[in-house]
Structure 1
Amino acid sequence: MDEHDVLAERFEDYRGHLRSVAYRMLGSLTEAEDAVQEAWFRLARTDTSDVANLGGWLTTVVSRVCLDMLRSRKSRREEPLETYVPDPVVTVGDPVEEAMLTDSVGLALLVVLETLTPAERLAFVLHDMFAVPFDEIAPIVGRSTAATTQLASRARRRVRGAAVPDCDLPAQREVVDAFLAAARAGNFEALVTVLDPDVVLRVDVGAGGPGALLRGIEAVAGQARSSARLGAMPRKAIVNGAAGWVSYIEGQPRAVLSTTVRGGRIVEINIMADPDRIAQLDLPAFD
């Protein structure tokens, strides 16, 4: 095995970690893969013989790449941020057996991370999610250690507003199944029992039209009953570690829906119905 092959093998040992870092930074599966690939390109053309901690070096590289991508995105973002839903990580099948196969970062948290500045997001993700010391993060964002600490602190205050789900996946599934049954039956009273009074529904349709942001039981229940009349078939799924479903029309996936269940009620529903991004997900067709 030559030197290049050895380097490639060592990189593969870190690929999963780097993908997790990039996904949390970017909220986009394709952009996360691009960032990881760019980290490999930079590694392949760099002399790392004096690098004692290759994993730390690669984490720094992919973080810098993500920071550049976030700054570029902020300057050219066109879609309304309030209805944007990050790329979901989806597995379709038995919700209990497949729970451990999905990324554990909740979609509701990723939605809040989208509201942070690039530097705040990087500081929070690296420190609070991956325990990278602030003195190692500071050079990446070009700030002092004290200023970087403040970046993460500001981010942390914003992130506290993210809905935190119940941890019991089977219990989540019971609530989601009850919601779907009530929506199909057009039963407003049953919907009220499973929706939090302050429930939020977010719909991202991409460039195909305006998204939607609804708040409160009446608005969300009305939307649920209207959507059920479209004849879409829901298939159980795990979406970012939580109970959700994929909506199918004529056997083809049309939307991924994630829920945040807290205290036995749904407090947030995020719907990603952007056809371009749906097509990039590894979702099976159903007859």
Structure 2
Amino acid sequence: MSDQTTNPATEIFLSYRNLLFTVAYEMLGSAADAEDVLQETWLRWVKADLDQVLDQRAYLIRITTRQALNRLRSMKSRKEAYVGPWLPEPLLTTPDVAEDVELAESVSMALMLVLETLSPTERAVFVLHEAFAVGYDEIAAAVGKSPAAVRQIAYRARQHVEARRPREAVSADQTRAALESFRRALEAGDLQGLLDVLAPDVVLVSDGGGIKQAAPRPVVSAGKVARFIVGGIGKAGVALTGEPTVVNGNPALILRVDGEVDGVVAIGVGDGRITGLYYVRNPHKLTRIASETPLTLH
């Protein structure tokens, strides 16, 4: 793309690039796949007759959605063959993402996991309508359904997500406070400290992708999660430290073992305690935590 920056089509594409990446990422949960979708979108965009394009943003979102849907369907077999639980790829994000409450929630690890339970079309419709305020007619053109069908899909997807997303809004300060308590207990190997900050029905999901050791299935309940964490640290005999950061617009920790990056921990919080722990260890999913990724809904 760099040698074609004077091309008007390329300049228009670049002006919407962060938006299109956000659309693709929210649909796919993978930055690498989102980048591939953007490349495919650009190749189709530069062949378009710009004089016939009435709404550049809508047209680009439509192309991106179609390519992301194709990619999402092809990812199904890859996820089915994946070793252990699959978590979205964490992104180190710019400060403005955290300041935009709507954007931060839409890319949070907790919501991204809920979106994994939708069908590809349901996910596309939900993301486009709820996060990006795309109208039903435009969504219909993107997903190949009638506007009436899209309305039904949107309603069904919204009901599904609302039944599974956190009931209460949690501020970044509340999340940071819970995360700091967790970090202190983690670094000290303090079992009681972990029990104090974990909700009784907390769920730990760890993603090693068959490359790094991880729990083969979610670990449920404060006692089991705390013992799993403390036992793992003790068995490994390593020095574990947590570095506060912002991932997907929300407070998180980069965990280091003997100074080397081991993974990223994102959390969900309810009533001041941690309800969800999402630990990404798969090194192939840790390529976006060294530099910030800009995201936008506009």
The two structures have a TM-score, normalised by structure 2, of 0.85
Pick one of 290, 293, 298 that aligns with 1:283.
290
Q: Is the 8 A contact 1:236 1:246 kept in 2?
A: yes
Distance in 1 between residues matched to 2:60 and 2:233, nearest whole Å: 46
SS for the counterpart of 1:198 is: strand
Instruction: Please list, as runs of the form range in 1=range in 2, the aligned pairs for 1:94-173 lying within 5 A after superposition.
Output: 99-100=98-99, 104=104, 105-160=107-162, 161-163=164-166, 166-173=169-176
AA aligned to 2:246 is I
Q: Is the 8 A contact 2:73 2:120 kept in 1?
A: yes
User: What is the Cα deviation at residue 282 of structure 1?
Assistant: 3.9
Q: Is the 8 A contact 1:88 1:239 kept in 2?
A: yes
Q: How many residues of Structure 1 are paired with residues of Structure 2 in the alignment?
A: 279
- Residues 82/196 of structure 1: CA separation in 2 closer, same or farther (3 Å cut): farther
AA aligned to 1:125 is V
Q: Which residue of 2 aligns with 1:183?
A: 186
Q: Is the 8 A contact 1:184 1:225 kept in 2?
A: no
User: What is the Cα deviation at residue 91 of structure 1?
Assistant: 5.1
- Residues 165/239 of structure 1: CA separation in 2 closer, same or farther (3 Å cut): farther
Structure 1 residue 219 corresponds to structure 2 residue 221: no
Q: Which runs of 5+ in 1 are unaligned?
A: none
Q: Is the 8 A contact 2:126 2:154 kept in 1?
A: yes
Distance in 2 between residues matched to 1:23 and 1:108, nearest whole Å: 14
Q: Which residue of 2 aligns with 1:90?
A: 92
Q: Which residue of 2 aligns with 1:60?
A: 62
User: What is the Cα deviation at residue 81 of structure 1?
Assistant: 9.2
Q: Which runs of 5+ in 2 are unaligned?
A: 292-298
* Percent of residue pairs identical: 34
Distance in 1 between residues matched to 2:110 and 2:289, nearest whole Å: 21
User: What is the Cα deviation at residue 192 of structure 1?
Assistant: 2.4
Structure 1 residue 174 corresponds to structure 2 residue 177: yes
AA aligned to 1:30 is A
Q: Is the 8 A contact 1:202 1:212 kept in 2?
A: yes
After alignment, is 260-269 or 247-256 more displaced? 247-256
| Residue deviations 1:129-187 (CA, integer Å, cap 9, x gap) | 11111122123322222221221222212212023675422332221111122233343
AA aligned to 2:256 is Y
- Residues 98/14 of structure 1: CA separation in 2 closer, same or farther (3 Å cut): closer
Distance in 2 between residues matched to 1:155 and 1:98, nearest whole Å: 25
Distance in 2 between residues matched to 1:177 and 1:260, nearest whole Å: 13
Instruction: Please list, as runs of the form range in 1=range in 2, the aligned pairs for 1:3-82 lying within 5 A after superposition.
Output: 5-79=7-81
Distance in 2 between residues matched to 1:45 and 1:106, nearest whole Å: 35
AA aligned to 2:182 is F
Aligned CA-pair RMSD: 2.6
SS for the counterpart of 1:196 is: strand
- Residues 261/149 of structure 1: CA separation in 2 closer, same or farther (3 Å cut): same
Q: Which residue of 1 aligns with 2:262?
A: 254
Distance in 2 between residues matched to 1:30 and 1:144, nearest whole Å: 31
Distance in 2 between residues matched to 1:195 and 1:215, nearest whole Å: 11
Distance in 2 between residues matched to 1:240 and 1:165, nearest whole Å: 19
Q: Is the 8 A contact 2:187 2:242 kept in 1?
A: no
| Residue deviations 1:18-77 (CA, integer Å, cap 9, x gap) | 111111111111111111121111111221211111110000000000000011112443
User: What is the Cα deviation at residue 4 of structure 1?
Assistant: 5.5
After alignment, is 58-67 or 34-43 more displaced? 34-43
Distance in 2 between residues matched to 1:40 and 1:19, nearest whole Å: 12
Pick one of 196, 201, 204 that aligns with 1:198.
201
Distance in 2 between residues matched to 1:109 and 1:198, nearest whole Å: 18
- Residues 52/4 of structure 1: CA separation in 2 closer, same or farther (3 Å cut): farther
Distance in 2 between residues matched to 1:165 and 1:242, nearest whole Å: 16
AA aligned to 2:209 is G
SS for the counterpart of 1:85 is: coil
SS for the counterpart of 1:233 is: strand
Distance in 1 between residues matched to 2:116 and 2:18, nearest whole Å: 22
After alignment, is 205-214 or 245-254 more displaced? 205-214
- Residues 75/224 of structure 1: CA separation in 2 closer, same or farther (3 Å cut): closer
SS for the counterpart of 2:87 is: coil
Distance in 2 between residues matched to 1:48 and 1:3, nearest whole Å: 16
User: What is the Cα deviation at residue 89 of structure 1?
Assistant: 1.4
